[in-house]
Each structure stands twice: as C-alpha cells, then as structure tokens.
C-alpha cells in the first residue's frame, strides 16, 4: 500500500501567498520535466495520459502522478483543525484515532486523507461520513469511499522543515 510503487511525487518547501504557491508549483513541474495539467470545470487537474494531483499548504508545494486515480494533500498540524473537528471527524474515523491517538497530528492525518480522497474523485466525498477505514498498518490504510463504492489506499508521510503531513490516496486496482 505504499505510493512509491504506483505514484511519483515531487515537492519542495515554500511559504508565500496563494498565487506565489501556484506559480512555484508550476515551476516545480516544469523543472522536473512533468507536463503542466489542464483543469476540469471543477478545478481538478488532468493530464493527457495518467492522473495527477497538486497540493500546496503547510509550507510545501507537492505534485503527484500515477497511472491510477490519485489525490494528494499536504497540511501542517494546527489548532484550526481542532476548531473544525466536528465537521470532518465522525464515528467511522475511530479506527484511525485508535491507531494513532486522539491528537492534533492524527487530526491532520485524517484531514489530509479526506482531502486526498476527495481529489481522487473531484467531487462527492462527504468529509464526515465518506470514508470507512479498513486495514491500518503503520502509516498506511485502506479505506472505502462509501458513496462511490471504491476502495482507496492511503499513505501518510510526515514532512519536516516545515513540519506537515502529506497524504496520498490511490484508487485501488
């Protein structure tokens, strides 16, 4: 369930205004020899061949590509997540809370996983009830997107300098 075998990731630390983050992400893609994606009307980035996902947050800009539908999200743990917890943490998330503890890092892991899962589909994922957690091993998990009836492999990576969590969600084959 690791993304490395099925996804390529590039990223770098960057902190700045939203427009500067987007420009830095485009520059990173070009510097890395990746194609710039076009965007669907809902904002989801698409490639001519394969799938991609983009994220900027927590002091990072990151891009992912895969032959499978992919979503990525990066976020720094912070009190803002605690303040909106009731909007995205529900009873179905208890296996993740049990595995990692009920703390700000776990809230960040849940948030990034749900953002990444949302990006796999581009729409239609309820953040409160949309994922049923199945297997959890280390910093990887299998979840089922309830509305879509699709399994996802989710992997979390802890980033440093600056500290943030990166979640990668891939639609299972």
pLDDT digits (tens, 9 = 90+) for 105-144: 999 999 999 999 999 998 889 999 999 999 999 999 999 9
In 3D, which of 98, 88, 64 has the Cα closest to residue 171? 64
Cα 117 to its chain centre, rounded Å, is 7
133 Cβ neighbours under 8 A, 6+ residues apart: 92, 93, 95, 96, 141, 142, 143
Q: Which residue ranges form the domains of the chain, and what is each CATH number?
A: 3-171 (3.90.470.20)
pTM for this model (two decimals): 0.93
Q: pLDDT per residue over 12-60, tens digit each?
A: 999 889 899 989 999 999 999 999 999 998 888 999 999 999 999 999 9
Q: What pLDDT score was predicted for residue 15?
A: 87
When pLDDT is cut at 50, 70 and 90, the band that residue 5 belongs to is: low
pLDDT confidence tier of residue 2, bands split at 50, 70 and 90: very low
Which tens digit of pLDDT belongs to each residue from 85-109?
999 999 999 999 999 999 999 999 9
CA 24-113-160 angle, to 5 degrees, is 50
Whole-number Å distance between alpha carbons of 64 and 58: 17
Tokens of 159: 């980033």
In 3D, which of 122, 157, 145, 160 has the Cα closest to residue 9?
157
Q: Provide the 8-state DSSP code for 147.
A: T
* Peptide bond connecting 162 to the previous residue in cis, omega within 30 degrees of 0: yes
């Amino acid at each position: 369930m690791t993304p490395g075998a099925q996804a390529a990731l590039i990223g770098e630390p960057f902190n700045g205004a939203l427009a500067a983050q987007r420009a830095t992400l485009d520059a990173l893609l070009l510097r890395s020899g990746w194609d710039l994606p076009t965007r669907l009307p809902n904002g989801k980035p698409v490639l001519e061949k394969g799938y991609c996902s983009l994220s900027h947050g927590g002091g990072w800009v990151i891009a992912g590509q895969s032959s499978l539908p992919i979503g990525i999200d990066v976020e720094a743990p912070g009190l803002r997540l605690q303040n909106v917890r009731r909007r995205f943490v529900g009873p179905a998330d208890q296996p993740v809370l049990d595995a990692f503890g009920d703390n700000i890092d776990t809230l960040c892991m849940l948030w990034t996983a749900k953002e990444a899962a949302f990006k796999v589909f581009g729409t239609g994922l309820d953040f409160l009830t949309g994922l049923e957690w199945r297997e959890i091993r280390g910093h990887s998990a299998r979840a089922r997107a309830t509305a879509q009836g699709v399994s996802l492999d989710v992997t979390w990576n802890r980033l440093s300098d600056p500290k943030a969590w990166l979640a990668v969600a891939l639609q299972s084959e």
